[in-house]
Every structure is written in structure tokens, then in C-alpha cells.
Amino acid sequence: MNVTIKSIIKWGFGLLVAIPFWGFAQQLSQQEQEEGWELLIDGRDPSIRWCSVNGDRFPSAGWVVKDSILTLLPGRKGGDIITRAQFSDFELVFDFKLTDSANTGIKYLVAPLENANGEVVLNGPEYQLIDDYKHETVINGKSPKTTTASAYLLYQPKGAVLKAGMWNEGKVIVKGSHVEHWLNGKKVLEYERGSSDFRKRVSDTKFKEYRTPYGEAEFGHIMLTDHHDGAYFKNIKIRHIP
């Protein structure tokens, strides 16, 4: 982990050149380039922009990229992956498709946090991705703060509709302390990091164990989590919000 933390590149915008590695490379349109978008998966070697949370290399098993689709293979235990770059004040857009009963997530502003034992770990707020219709932890509305597009354990989405077994579009907007989660073109929640409400909610969860304030980093990595379930990601792109 120390190697990963020391080798990160702050900001990370404006570094992409779309060159095929295998299959075909996804490319940004002229308009997207003018708007400042950067692809995080483009069909090339994923280790260019991503690495394991536990080291400086992309996992050798569990995650694969083919034809610009990043696939999380079920049961392979590839582990969580993070962007090498860090980001602040951004708009993140991604398409995802979940397999039956899958559970995963995309975290943002992932930064070093000290836990109650004095250990440093990487963590940050999470845009939850889960099969709302079949996963046993969320079916029948039993856990609204852990359904798809929730801010995991903290804020439940309003009006979020997951398209089961199909491609969905997620979006996270972070501008200073303000955060928004979107699903399939609809804003489903917003909150203010560091507010009294936010801190009260954190204090009611497992995140209260951190000595470093959870979810309040100025900048951080993007992380995709591996809970050993199958999932697909494509069109992962990010841009800086001035």
C-alpha cells in the first residue's frame, strides 16, 4: 500500500491518448474532448491508469478488459482496484451492468484514513451498485441506504430505478463539499460532505471508527470494489469541474 500511496499522481486530467492495445480502443468525440473529458478505460492495458489497492500493479486475475469493457469476474478475488491519479471537483460518468444478485460499488475521493488501531487504509464515499431485486440484503426495501445509487450506509436514493441485467448509467458530481448521485439520467440524491448532518450519519455507521474524518478528503482516487460478484463497466470517463 505504501508504494501505491507514494506513486499516485494528483489531479490526473489531460493525460489520455487513445491508442489501441487489443480489440478496439474507445475514443472521445471532439465535443467530449473540448468539454475536458478523460477516459479511464479505453481498451488499452488497464494498468496504465489502474492498479490494485494493495500494490502498484493491476491484478493478474479477477479483472479483465476486452473491447473497452472492464469485466469483474465472479469468484476470482482480484481485489479492489483504484486509479493511479487522484481527482478533486469532478464529474464522473460510467456505464455498468450487474450479473444476477451481484454486489459491488464505485468509491470516490478515496484517501488514506487512520482506523482505531492506528492502521492506514484507503477508503471514501461509495456509490453503491447492487442487484436491488435479488440481493438478499436489499430486497423488499429492507436496506434503502445500501441500494443502487445510494451513498453507501449514509443516504438513500429517491426515485432510483435499476435496469436489471441491462446497461445503466451512473454519475457522481463532486464540487467542493457538494455531492450528487445520478442514475440513468436522474439525480437521485445530494449531500454536503462535512456538514453536521453528514457527520451525524457517519457517526451512526462503522465509519465512525476512523480517526481521520471519513469522506472529507479534498481529493482522492476512484475505486472499484470486488465483492467476488460479476459486473461489467464501460464508458468510464471523468472531467474536472472548474
Write the secondary structure of 59-71 as one string of H (helix), E (strand) and C (coil): CCCCEEEECCEEE
Boundaries of domain holding 112 = 2-240
Q: Could you tell me if 132 and 102 are in contact, meaning their C-beta atoms sit under 8 angstroms apart? A: no
pLDDT (mean) for 207-235: 97
Residue 138 has pLDDT above 50, yes or no: yes
Domain containing 106 — which CATH number?
A: 2.60.120.560
Strongest mean pLDDT among 4-18, 37-51, 198-212 = 198-212
Residues of the chain above pLDDT 90, percent: 84
Which pLDDT value is given to residue 42?
86
Chain-wide mean pLDDT for the chain? 90
Residues 135, 144: Cα–Cα separation, whole Å: 13
As to burial, measured by CB atoms within 10 angstroms (0-12 exposed, 13-18 middle, 19+ buried), residue 61 is exposed
Higher-pLDDT residue of 206, 27: 206
Residue 4 has pLDDT above 70, yes or no: no
Residue 16 has pLDDT above 50, yes or no: no
- The helix/strand/coil state of 212 is coil
Higher-pLDDT residue of 43, 166: 166
pLDDT (mean) for 119-137: 97
Residues 82, 145: Cα–Cα separation, whole Å: 24
pLDDT confidence bin for 25, thresholds 50/70/90: low
Residue 1 has pLDDT above 50, yes or no: no
pLDDT (mean) for 212-237: 97
Residue 17 has pLDDT above 80, yes or no: no
The tally of CA atoms less than 13 A away on the side-chain side of residue 96 is 28
pLDDT confidence bin for 7, thresholds 50/70/90: very low
Residue 15 has pLDDT above 70, yes or no: no
Q: How many domains does the chain have?
A: 1
Residue 56 has pLDDT above 80, yes or no: yes
